[in-house]
Amino acid sequence: MAKRKFVKQALSQWMTGEGPDSEVVVSSRVRVARNLRNMPFPIMAATEQSLSVMEQLLGVAESGRLNGLGKIEHVRLSELTELEKLVLVEKHLISPNLANDSRNAALILGPNEDISVMINEEDHLRIQYLCSGFQVREAWDMASKVDDIFEEQVDYAFDEKHGYLTSCPTNVGTGIRASVMMHLPALVMTGQINRILSAVTQVGLAVRGIYGEGSEATGNLFQVSNQVTLGQSEQEIIENLFQVAHQIIEHEKSARSKLLTESRLRVEDRVRRSFGILSQALIMDSKEASQRLSDIRLGSHLGLLPEVDPLSMNELLVSTQPGFLQMTFGEAMSPEDRDKSRADLIRSRLATLS
C-alpha cells in the first residue's frame, strides 16, 4: 500500500463538499460490524487466533474480489508509526481503539478513501463507507456491497434469533451504525441546539462529537447516528436516520436565514473577526481553531465571505489536527510548538484566499 498518500493528503474524497446539502452535512457514513464464526472476539482472542483472522480477511482483498470497487490497498498497522496511525484517526479512516491496540490489526482502503475496512478492532471486521454530504442511503448501499463480498468468502457469526453477533451487545442484530456529520452553527448561535438534540435522542438516535463515542462536539460539528441495531431492519434504521437528519437540516437552514434577516451585521462581524484573528494569530490551539474555522465556513455558505471556498475549510479542519500538523512539518512537537505551527499553517492558507 502506498501509505504515504493516505497520511499526507488531508482531503479525502468524502470531504470535498460536493454531495447534497453539503453546506450542513459534511459527510454520511455507514459502518458494519461483523465477526467470524467459531473464532473468539478480538478482546478474547489469543495472538495466533487474531493473526488467523487477519490473514483470512486480508486474503479477501488480496484475492482481487474487491477490485470491482476500485483499486484496493491494504496495510498491517504494525507497519505504521504512532504518528501515521494518529493521522488515519484524524481522517476518520480508523478508530482511536484500533490505533491504540494494533495487535494483528490491519486496514483495507478504497482508492478515494471512501471504503475503509478495519480488521481486529472491537470486532473482527468493521466495514465503513463514507460519502460527501447527505447521502446516508447511498452509503448503506455501498457498505452492503462490500459486506456481501466478504460474506461470500468467510463464515460470519450469525444467530437466527438475534442476527449478527458482535463484541458489544448494542451492535447485535443488523450490526450497522449509520451516521451523518453535521455542521450546525446557526442552531448553536440561536440557542436552539439543546432542544433539537434532546428531541433527537428521544427518537432513538445518539449525538456525539466528530470522533464518535466519548468525543467532544467541537467546531459546531455533531455526529448523529442510530442507537438501536436489534429489532429493526437495516432499511428501517437508515430511513429513521434519514428522516430525522432531514428535519435537522431544515432547522439549520431556517436558523441561518433568520440570522441573515435579523442579525446580519452581528453575524458578519463575528465571521470577519474570526477570519481576521486566524489571518493574524501567532498561536492557535485546536479548540479555538475549530470554532473560528466553523465561523468562516458558515460565512462562506452565507455569502458573507465570498472569497473563501468551503472546501478549503474542510481541508484545514483536518490539516490542523495534532497528528497531521506533525506529519506536515516532519517532526514531533510539543503542544506549544503545535499551536505555533497551526497558526502559521492557517495564516499561510488564508493568505492565498484573500
Q: Is 214 annotated to bind ligand?
A: no
Q: Is 177 annotated to bind ligand?
A: yes
Q: Is 208 annotated to bind ligand?
A: yes
**DSSP state for residue 220 in the 8-state scheme:** T
Q: Is 30 annotated to bind ligand?
A: yes
Q: Is 60 annotated to bind ligand?
A: no
Q: What is the pLDDT of residue 5?
A: 59
Q: Is 276 annotated to bind ligand?
A: no
**Chain position carrying cell 490473514:** 55
Q: How many residues does the chain have?
A: 354
Chain-centre distance of CA 233, in angstroms?
Answer: 24
Q: What is the DSSP string of 292-344?
A: HHHHHHHHHHTTSSTT--HHHHHHHHHHTSHHHHHHHHTS---HHHHHHHHHH
Q: Is 28 annotated to bind ligand?
A: yes
Rg (CA), the chain: 21
Each residue's pLDDT, cut to its tens digit, for the chain (354 residues) gives: 445 556 566 557 667 768 899 999 999 999 999 999 999 999 999 999 999 999 999 999 988 888 888 888 899 999 998 988 998 898 889 999 899 887 899 999 988 889 999 999 999 999 999 999 999 999 999 999 999 999 999 999 999 999 999 998 888 999 999 999 999 999 999 999 999 989 998 888 999 876 555 445 688 999 999 988 888 899 999 999 999 999 999 999 999 999 999 999 999 999 999 999 999 999 999 999 999 999 999 999 999 998 888 878 888 888 888 988 888 888 889 999 999 999 999 999 899 876
The amino acid occupying position 96 is P
Q: What is the pLDDT of residue 289?
A: 95
Q: Is 210 annotated to bind ligand?
A: yes
Q: Is 49 within 8 Å of 39 (Cβ atoms)?
A: yes
Q: Is 264 annotated to bind ligand?
A: no
Q: Is 31 annotated to bind ligand?
A: yes
Q: Is 103 annotated to bind ligand?
A: no
**Chain position carrying cell 490505533:** 99
Q: Is 136 within 8 Å of 28 (Cβ atoms)?
A: yes
- Residue spans of the domains in the chain: they are 3-256, 263-351
d(CA 334, CA 54): 35
Q: Is 203 annotated to bind ligand?
A: no
CATH superfamily of 3-256: Glutamine synthetase/guanido kinase, catalytic domain (3.30.590.10)
Measured torsion, CA atoms of residues 277, 274, 214, 206, in degrees rounded to the nearest 10? -170
Q: Is 29 annotated to bind ligand?
A: yes
Q: What is the pLDDT of residue 1?
A: 45
d(CA 9, CA 7): 6
Q: Is 211 annotated to bind ligand?
A: yes
Q: What is the pLDDT of residue 312?
A: 83
Q: Is 106 annotated to bind ligand?
A: no
Q: What is the pLDDT of residue 327?
A: 84
pTM score, whole prediction: 0.89
Which of helix, strand or coil describes residue 88? Answer: helix
Q: Is 180 annotated to bind ligand?
A: yes
Measured torsion, CA atoms of residues 79, 84, 89, 92, in degrees rounded to the nearest 10? -90
